[in-house]
Amino acid sequence: MNIEKLKKASENFGTPLYVYDLSIIDSQLKKLKEAFKKLDNYQIHFAAKALSNISILKYINNLGLGLDAVSIEEVRTGIKCGYDVKKILFTPNGVNFSEIKEAVALGVKINLDSLESLIDFSKAYPNQTVSVRINPGVMAGGNENISVGHLDSKFGITEESLDEIVKMDKEKKIKVTTLHIHTGSDIIENNHFELGIRKIFSVAHKFQNIETIDLGGGIKIPYFLGDTETDLNKYAEVIYEEVEKFKLKKGKDIKLIFEPGKFLVSDSGYFITKVNYVKKSTKNTFVQVNSGFNHFVRPTLYKSYHEIVNLSNPNDKKFDYSVVGYICEKDTFAENREISKVSKGDLLCFKNSGAYGFTMTSNYNSRLKPTEVCIHKNEIKMIREGEKFDDLFRGQIDIFSE
């Protein structure tokens, strides 16, 4: 963490501010490739939902990655940023079929996760290549909202519909060449990954045209010193084992796809705010910053822990603070958090805010979305202008204007 650089960025562009250090995306990718070195046939798709600024998407495209897109807008954004359509996998959930038609027309690969949508697909595009998302029946993920591979989840195909899909494949109504799972995000336990991996490989044997297995995202990164993280070597080892078994049994190779979001960009991002007041109350000392959950929702929505560094006074004695935003309801970034002495005007930086930070911002309380900048080759460059007051009214129609 380069404190001077982050202070400089705040001075030049104001706060609140998102800063992304692109070199960290490189180093994360390197770690992933290192862990996957025994796997010789795989492709990495970046999960666009984690950070979808076009400069970041272009940067990641230049690193040779593909894209995981979950909306037609993400598909279009990927194409706009130069991604090869063959390296974009569209994984919608419950969308209107018109979106799927548009994606087919654009030439991207389609990954469907209900029997109902596959039937529509088979009618519109008989015997065309399609990917199928399986529900592995595994409860995994950092919290309830982001655990999506269990049997109560709306995602993926469960056992009940599987036989019907295998039949459609045999009868050449659809041609299933890819199977996909995404079990959750922030998956701590390696054995949860393992259950999903074993499951999808066991399902793969049922499909005659299978060429690719997509293992989704979900790798857990540490949010603070000593925090848990996915053991990437163990993760890769289980995959390698299953790939080798598959090759032996089927006599053919299988390609893998991975869809990391957090792993690639979380650590590259810093969200910087400024302290308006340090307010003493009966039970707490509140640090009130010039932001709220409208700018960075993870702590409120998921109770997620993000390390907070006082950039203005990083080495002073530490005190307990509750860091809160200015939104008109409970808006807590951190409770009873030890931070080096905070004063009015200090810059507080939230670490690990590259993933699902800006992409989850809103205009709640009629607040403006913040500026985004990146650090590239030692230079700080603006990649999104902060919103202006007039932006709040873009698209609104005043039916009472004279």
38: left (phi over 0), alpha (psi -120 to 50) or beta: alpha
Q: Minimum distance from CB of 70 to ligand LLP (Å)?
A: 6
Mind telling me the catalytic residues? 328
Q: Which of 356, 370, 372, 383 binds ligand LLP (CB under 6 A)?
A: 356
Cβ count near 279 (within 10 Å): 12
Nearer to ligand LLP by Cβ, of 25 and 347: the residue is: 25
User: Beta strand pairing status for 212-214 and 255-258?
Assistant: parallel
Question: Does the footprint of ligand LLP cover residue 173 (CB under 6 A)?
Answer: no
Candidate segments 32-40, 80-88, 165-173, 261-269, binder of ligand LLP by CB under 6 A? 261-269
Tell me which of 16, 66, 260, 299 binds ligand LLP, using CB under 6 A: 260
Which of 262, 274, 351, 369 is in the footprint of ligand LLP by CB under 6 A?
262
Using the rule CB under 6 A, is 19 a contact of ligand LLP? Answer: no
91 sits near ligand LLP (criterion: CB under 6 A): yes
Return the H-helix or E-strand segment holding 29.
helix 22-35
Which of 92, 196, 217, 269 touches ligand LLP (CB under 6 A)?
Answer: 217
Task: In angstroms, give the least distance from the CB of 140 to ligand LLP.
Answer: 11
Give the DSSP letter of residue 288: E
Q: Which of 21, 68, 331, 346 binds ligand LLP (CB under 6 A)?
A: 68
Among 125, 240, 286, 302, binds ligand LLP (CB under 6 A): 302
Residue 386 DSSP label: P
Q: How far is the CB of 345 from ligand LLP (least distance, A)?
A: 30
Token output for 91? 């994984």
Q: Is position 369 an interface residue for ligand LLP (rule: CB under 6 A)?
A: no
Closest alpha carbon to 84 in 69, 70, 101: 69
* Rounded CA separation 57/362 (Å): 21
Residue 185 interacts with ligand LLP (CB under 6 A): yes or no: yes
Whether the Cβ atoms of residue 89 and residue 257 lie closer than 8 Å to each other? yes
Q: Say whether residue 218 binds ligand LLP (CB under 6 A).
A: yes
Answer whether the bond into residue 16 is a cis peptide, omega within 30°. Answer: yes
Binding of ligand LLP at residue 149 (CB under 6 A)? no
Structure letter (DSSP) for residue 370: P
Q: Which backbone phi and psi does 251 adopt, to 5 degrees? A: 70, 20
278: number of CA atoms within 13 Å, CB side? Answer: 13
Binding site for ligand LLP (CB under 6 A): 47, 50, 68, 70, 91, 146, 182, 185, 216-219, 259-263, 298, 302, 355-356
